[in-house]
Amino acid sequence: MARPTARVLALLEILQAGGGFTVADLAGRLGVDERTVRRYAAHLADLGIPVEARRGRYGGYRLAPGYKLPPLMLTDEEAVAVMLGLVAATRAGLVTAEGAAAESATGKIRRVLPAGLARRIDSLLDTVDFTAPVRKPAPPGIEVLLVLAEAARNQRPVSIAYTTWRGLSGERQLDPYGLVFHAGRWYVTGHDHDRGAVRTFRLDRIGAARPVQGSFDVPADFDPTTQVLAGLAAVPYAHDICVVLHTSLGQAQRRIPPSVGTLAEVPGGVRLTTRAERLDGMAQMLAGLGWPFTIERPDELRDEVRALAARLLTDARRSP
């Protein structure tokens, strides 16, 4: 738990176990010095939680006898929804930089559930399987995420400390139009004052974010998700690809997401313009779509399609 607020709550959880704890013991459990423990105890007292101090050489803290926080009451359906939501968030890479947050939240909820319901949920989590793969997350800091979310909602500009993929760092002023979570990563998109254009930034590359004076209006037709996916499709790759798919625009849009490339209706079909690091993967994608197609560029993609066709033909001729 990296943030002070999280450690204050951790102190409260320790004290709720009952009994008294020395300052040295609490400091060891929280990973802080004794002076910091006393400051955390003062924070709890300021919140109206009756933390009692014991003075002397072995002094410490305890909660006032009989004090209990209000219990968390969940129906069976609510408990299942919360637990599955935490599991799904972890698998999708949605958890933030404090990676233990989902695990610790799961443990806390598990402890307040009735024993029978807890056993049933444990059975569910032990036996459930998922078809979607676990994504490797690139989580942002919680403070960065919350500052940007609040600024986007209130339409207030922010200053961000950003590091590019080349390793160059600097300050940028941004009007955050919206936040998007895609493929295990958080993005913020909006008007970049330094570039004078709409740009997209990965949150895990933002070291800090702070509000600045001013306000802004979001363009009426602006869609953050469309902007982020279009930006990802335009990222430079090793090969620039242009293929005419002999199908309708509607069918192509249903099968090919905006993050893959841009689609444009042309005589005889739909032109797909995209980029790729590997041409063999693009050949497999075109074959998997099942539509006739015409390769406009690059010529090397034709060679990969021929090689794929030869491998498939060889496999089809192979006897069991």
Q: Which CATH number characterizes residue 200's domain? A: 2.30.30
Residue-range definition of the domain harbouring residue 22: 4-63
CATH of the domain at 43: 1.10.10.10
SS3 of residue 222 by DSSP: coil
Q: What is the average pLDDT across 98-115?
A: 73
Query: Within this chain, do residues 223 and 246 fall inside the same structural domain, yes or no?
Result: no
- Residue 137 resides in a domain: no
Is the pLDDT reported for residue 38 higher than 60?
Answer: yes
In a domain, 190, yes or no: yes
The answer to whether 174 and 191 are in contact (CB under 8 A) is yes
Q: Does residue 88 lie within any of the structural domains? A: yes
Q: What pLDDT score was predicted for residue 173? A: 95
Residue 190: CB atoms within 10 Å: 26
Q: Does residue 99 lie within any of the structural domains?
A: yes
Do 60 and 28 contact (CB within 8 A), yes or no? no
**CA separation for the pair 68, 74 (Å, rounded):** 18
DSSP-assigned letters across all residues of 39-57? HHHHHHHHTT--EEEE-ST
3-class DSSP state for residue 223?
Answer: coil
Pair (226, 168) in one structural domain: yes
Please give the order of strands across the beta sheet that includes 169-182: 197-202, 185-192, 169-182, 158-163, 206-211
pLDDT, tens only, 124-133: 888 888 776 6
Q: Do both 252 and 285 map to the same domain?
A: yes
- Residue 117 and residue 177 in one domain: no
Q: How many structural domains compose the chain?
A: 4
Domain assignment present for 10? yes
CA distance 179 to 259: 16
Looking at the fold, whether 56 and 93 belong to one and the same domain comes out as no
Q: Are residues 152 and 224 in the same domain?
A: yes
DSSP H helical ranges for 214-276: 224-233, 249-255
229 and 250 share one domain: no
In total, the chain counts a number of residues equal to 320
Distances in Å between the Cα of 171 and the Cα atoms of 20, 141, 210 are 48, 17, 11
> Taking residues 29-40, what's their average pLDDT?
88
The answer to the question of residue 133 being in a domain is no
Most confident of 5-14, 109-118, 188-197: 188-197
pLDDT per residue as tens digits for the range 297-317: 999 999 999 999 999 989 888
Q: Using one digit for the tens of pLDDT, what is the confidence trace for 226-266?
A: 888 887 766 666 788 999 999 999 999 988 888 788 899 99
Q: What percent of the chain has pLDDT over 70?
A: 89
CA distances from 260 to 22, 52, 75, 187, 285 (A): 58, 60, 42, 17, 11
- 189 and 250 in contact (C-beta within 8 Å)? no
User: Sheet containing 21-22: which strands, arranged edge to edge?
Assistant: 21-22, 60-63, 51-54
pLDDT band at 97 (very low <50, low <70, confident <90, very high): very low
- Domain closes at, from 187, 205, 233: 233
Mean pLDDT of the chain: 84
Query: What is the pTM (predicted TM-score) of this model?
Result: 0.55
DSSP structural state of residue 93: T
Query: Is 134 among the domain residues?
Result: no
Domain boundary among 202, 233, 264: 233
Report the range out of 34-43, 66-75, 105-114, 301-310 with the highest average pLDDT.
Answer: 301-310
| 243 and 229 fall within a common domain | no
Whether the CB-CB separation of 209 and 172 falls below 8 Å is answered with: no
Q: Which strands sit side by side in the sheet containing 261-266, from one edge to the other?
A: 261-266, 269-276, 239-245, 293-297
Q: What is the CATH number of the domain that holds 281?
A: 3.30.70
The pLDDT tens digits for 118-175 are 888 888 888 888 776 666 666 677 888 889 999 999 999 999 999 887 778 889 999 9
Residue 278 belongs to a domain: yes
